[in-house]
Structure 1
Amino acid sequence: MSEVKLSASLRTEFGKGAARRVRRDHRVPGVLYGHGTDPVHLTLPGHELLLALRTPNVLLSLDIDGKNELAIPKAVQRDPLKGFLEHVDLLLVKRGEKVTVEIPVTAEGELAPGGYLLEHVLNALPVEAEATHIPEGVTVSVAGLEAGASILAKDIALPSGVTLAVDEDAVVLQVLAAQAEEPAAETEGEGEAAAEA
């Protein structure tokens, strides 16, 4: 997993007006916390942060007024209509430290013929990994699976050094039989025929 270097600056003004001014300058307000330290209020470069956050659980190397800190995103607030970043919460981490994160689960392969549906019970898998070696995600093969089949957390191969942070019998993916709907016209016709009799 690669580190993304960002230059952050300390934020001294707070409130909605101050946050709007920060965003007008194409920067994003944020807070850095963890390890029992006081929260540090920051502003981060908007475009660079947006690109970095395209990678799930990205490791950020922050240069805060000459001091270097490692952090991972914990919560990201976006504008619901325009999608731009409004605020970011960052968790302070240290090299070698284990952290609990959720990694995306991707299914690959074709289900058995028969119109089955694949349900993602867990879209993301909670795992514990070293902060500097968080996997970007896991891929699971669903080739040939039929209705009733399910993939449990313990069935997913994880990279070395990564462990599950969820019950190993938790269902991650399951295959469902597609349910055919009865045509509405037939049901109405049957009701009329019964009424006439």
Structure 2
Amino acid sequence: MSQYVLNAEVRETLGTGASRRLRREEKVPAILYGAGKDAVSLTLEHNKVIQMQEDEGFYTHILTLNIGGESVEAILKDIQRHPYKPKVTHLDFQRVDASQKLHTKVPVHFLNEEAATKGGNTVAHHVTEIEITCLPAQLPEFVEVDVAAIEVGATVHLSDITLPAGVVSVELAKGADHDQAVVTVNAPKGGAAEETAEEAAE
């Protein structure tokens, strides 16, 4: 069973008014769909959701929803928040079928940035997550990129990243022209070449 477990109740009363009442009762409306089954409207405890959503793994792990005594595996597909209050207003979950590939996003963890920025270099993140497809058992929690291994002035693209076995980049699957830039290490502004040019101008 997943380390992320949420107790949920089937929600019989639907509509905007009903959802507002639930939120006043410190509950969160949600929906569960996918795997060829009918969508089910749910209610979850807001405090539990708030606690879990602070953990990055909540967005990438397979979750367990306990619904009326039945355990259902799912992934979080969407989370809606109040524009200024620390409240979650709605959740979308997709059922997980062990035999069907998932289409989701995983975060990129940039390692050793401190080492890469020595000497005044800067690191530019072009993406913070990668869209992937894979079977549920192959779902990675995140993808790592060692920034210290990147030469100054170079850019790492999707094609430069080794994904875990069975994991496919959605963008790369579209063709070579979708090889997105992921991260660039830039030389300091006002480098040696610029200083030489300034001296010549003087």
Q: For this structure pair, what is the TM-score category when the shorter chain's length is used for normalisation?
A: 0.7 to 0.9
Report the equivalent of 2:64. 61
Report the Cα distance in structure 1 between the residues aligned to 2:149 and 2:168, rounded to whole angstroms: 27
TM-score by length of 1: 0.79
Matched-pair contact (CA < 8 Å) for 2:79–2:92: yes
**Residue of structure 2 aligned with 1:73, choices 67, 72, 76:** 76
Report the equivalent of 1:39. 39
Cα offset, 1:45, TM superposition: 1.9
Report the Cα distance in structure 1 between the residues aligned to 2:92 and 2:104, rounded to whole angstroms: 14
Report the equivalent of 1:171. 181
1:6 corresponds to which letter in structure 2? L
Report the Cα distance in structure 2 between the residues aligned to 1:112 and 1:13, rounded to whole angstroms: 55
Report the equivalent of 1:48. 48
**3-state secondary structure, aligned to 2:116:** coil
Cα offset, 1:132, TM superposition: 4.0
* The structure with more radius of gyration: 1
Cα offset, 1:149, TM superposition: 0.5
Q: What CA deviation, in whole Å up to 9, does each residue of 1:105-140 have, x standing for no partner?
A: 111222264423211111101122222442111221
Q: Which blocks of at least 5 consecutive residues in structure 2 are unaligned?
A: 191-202
Report the equivalent of 1:190. none
2:16 corresponds to which letter in structure 1? K
Query: Does 2:97 align with 1:94?
Result: yes
Query: Structure 1's 136 and 36: CA in aligned 2 closer, same or farther, altered over 3 A?
Result: same
Report the Cα distance in structure 1 between the residues aligned to 2:102 and 2:128, rounded to whole angstroms: 19
Q: Which has the higher strand share?
A: 1
> 134-143 vs 166-175, which deviates more?
166-175
Query: Structure 1's 161 and 51: CA in aligned 2 closer, same or farther, altered over 3 A?
Result: farther
Report the Cα distance in structure 2 between the residues aligned to 1:26 and 1:94, rounded to whole angstroms: 31
Equivalent pairs counted in the alignment come to: 180
